[in-house]
Chain A
Amino acid sequence: DAKTTQPPSMDCAEGRAANLPCNHSTISGNEYVYWYRQIHSQGPQYIIHGLKNNETNEMASLIITEDRKSSTLILPHATLRDTAVYYCIVPTKGSYQLTFGKGTKLSVIP
């Protein structure tokens, strides 16, 4: 998997937007960016993925820079239940494996 870099931790006030950055400067042209999160003691949960266009679903928005070297996951109105570790992953094309790094621990504060 292409290497990704994320800040180890972030805080966000409840009700505000949480913007989680990820650098993936070695990404190849046909590789997608995936975001997962893991709430304590639960299995990872898929959030969103994208190739080059911005994406939005019911959980979040994904903004990918034009050069595709970085992306930002946006949780528009963070709640306490969004407290989790967020992982940005770029799977190697054709590989079965997902490699989870250390991710960003997001704490949503009341």
Chain B
Amino acid sequence: IAGITQAPTSQILAAGRRMTLRCTQDMRHNAMYWYRQDLGLGLRLIHYSNTAGTTGKGEVPDGYSVSRANTDDFPLTLASAVPSQTSVYFCASSGGDGRNEQFFGPGTRLTVL
């Protein structure tokens, strides 16, 4: 089934621990994105990648890093988690090159204690 998968579905993490959220798409989309969604704040862009091998910072990048080694995968890493990173994280992708519709994964619910 074509689409975006995210793992884990949910996670409880101790503050200070390192965590990588995984995102994989099978639509051969060039562009991928990571958002966080918080009550009252909507979806905010963390990092993005317009094509494999390139990444860029979004609105709220501090405390997060990404890599894009290939077209399909776009992991998000929290090097040292803090409670303010408790959120729901969504990965999205779009075709790029003028194909702007973004398609979202099911999300990862992360709690940092």
* Binding partners A and B: no
**B binding-site residues for A, Cβ under 8 Å:** none
**A binding-site residues for B, Cβ under 8 Å:** none
